[in-house]
Amino acid sequence: MDKDLHTIMRIEQDAQNIPPSFPILSAVETLDYDFTHIGSGEYFLPSDVNLEMHCRDHASTRNVKEFRQFKRFAADSEIRFESQP
């Protein structure tokens, strides 16, 4: 947590009470947030996710995602009702 901004910057998830018969021993995911410039604005968005799993067959996996090149889509419209003379 960023104490100056009062903003949560990271969320961590750790799997608990995994059944003994399940093939995965542990799973931990970390999601990081950061401020990102899009156009003329700055937005608070996810930046990275890291997932690590350890299996009973001694295999391990790691999945890393990076969020980049955000785009902002917007539209403006106007409806006018003009009266007849």
Q: What is the pLDDT of residues 45-72, one digit of tens each?
A: 999 999 999 999 999 999 999 999 888 8
pLDDT of residue 2: 64
**Contacts of residue 31, Cβ cutoff 8 Å, sequence gap at least 6:** 10, 11, 12, 13, 46, 48, 49
What is this structure's pTM?
0.72
Whether pLDDT at 1 is above 70: no
State how far the Cα of 65 lies from the Cα of 54, in Å rounded to an integer.
Answer: 18
Structure letter (DSSP) for residue 1: -
Q: What is the pLDDT of residues 12-56, one digit of tens each?
A: 999 999 999 999 999 999 999 999 998 888 999 999 999 999 999
pLDDT of residue 60: 95
